[in-house]
Chain A
Amino acid sequence: MGDPSRPATESIERSLDSTLESVDRAEELAVALARRSGFDEEDLMKIGLAVRESMVNAVVHGNRYNEHKKVRFAASVNGNRFTVRIADQGEGFDYNNLPDPLTPENLLRTSGRGIFLIRSFMDEFQARHVEPAGTEVTLVKFAVSKQIP
């Protein structure tokens, strides 16, 4: 960050269908914005996967592939702060009461690692109920400024 050729602020918003193609699309958009903002490959991988996992939750668990329900996707960069918001129109979900996938009894479960990975890869993660229905998650990653000797 700190490169004058890179945008200090930029934002994108999309209303996406509840499909797996939308998962791919959101990931592409987020990674492209993050790349323009100066994140390195390691962070781009983390951002991409966190967005993918969040979109899957919205499409599959929130909206249940319902063609009449949309996923609101928004990504923005402001200085060194990269933010993604993803909102579904589902019945709501308690993100604070999830089983720990790392405990011995859960380690060999075939699902339940998505939120853990999001929290591991992003610097901030929040989930809230939105009106009239659905859940919105906010993912934030901070770019580390490069020191110029």
Chain B
Amino acid sequence: MSVKLSTRQVGDVSVVDVAGRITLGEGSSALRESLRDMVGKNQKKILLNLGDVSYIDSSGIGELVSGFTSVTNSGGQLKLLNLNKRVKDLLQITKLYTVFDVHDDEASAIRSFV
């Protein structure tokens, strides 16, 4: 399996449930296109639920960073939810863990959007 993305609305927050592998190729491209589409539609509050992400490589991390930059530059907020140990370790080792606003609980993540 590559990656599966599904989007739902919780109030004015777009929650993207990501499952599978975010690696160079289908996975990273799908995430890039999804975030690009949301920025294009002027969505300002985006929560990426990575709870079911089984694998991410440096390309996948690059897409998270690219999405974060694009959303932020358009005046929006992109936050992360439910990082497993693998994703958390990679973001920590690349010093990106403190760049993103990371949450373990969806309700509190939703409330944190301003």
From B58, B86, B93, B99, A108 is in contact (CB under 8 Å) with: B99
How many Å lie between the Cα of A56 and that of B99 in the bound state? Answer: 26
- List chain A residues, Cβ under 8 A from B63: 110
How many angstroms from the CA of A53 to the CA of B59 in the assembled complex?
9
List residues of chain B with CB within 8 A of the CB of A107: 95-96, 99
Give the residues in chain A near B58, CB-CB below 8 Å: 53, 56, 111, 113-114, 117
Instruction: Tell me if A110 and B65 are in contact (CB < 8 A).
Output: yes
Contact of B93 among A23, A53, A110, A120 (CB under 8 A): A120
Residue-wise interface mask of B (47-70) relative to A, using a CB-CB cutoff of 8 A (1 in contact, 0 not): 000000000011101110110110
A65 to chain B, nearest CB (A): 11
Residues on A with C-beta less than 8 A from B25 are: 20
Alpha-carbon gap, A20 to B24, bound state (A): 8
The contact of B94 among A53, A102, A110, by CB within 8 Å, is A102
Residue of A nearest to B96 (CB): A107
Within 8 A of A (CB), among B81-98: 86, 90, 93-96
Instruction: Tell me if A101 is interfacial: C-beta within 8 Å of chain B.
Output: yes
A52 to B61, CA, bound (A): 14
Q: Is B77's CB within 8 Å of the partner chain A?
A: no
Complex: chain A residue closest to B86, CB-CB: A45
List 25 A-B residue pairs with CB atoms under 8 Å apart, sorted by A's residue number: A20-B24, A49-B57, A52-B23, A53-B57, A56-B58, A56-B59, A101-B94, A102-B95, A107-B96, A108-B68, A108-B99, A110-B62, A110-B63, A110-B65, A110-B66, A110-B69, A111-B58, A111-B59, A113-B61, A113-B62, A114-B57, A114-B58, A116-B94, A117-B93, A120-B93
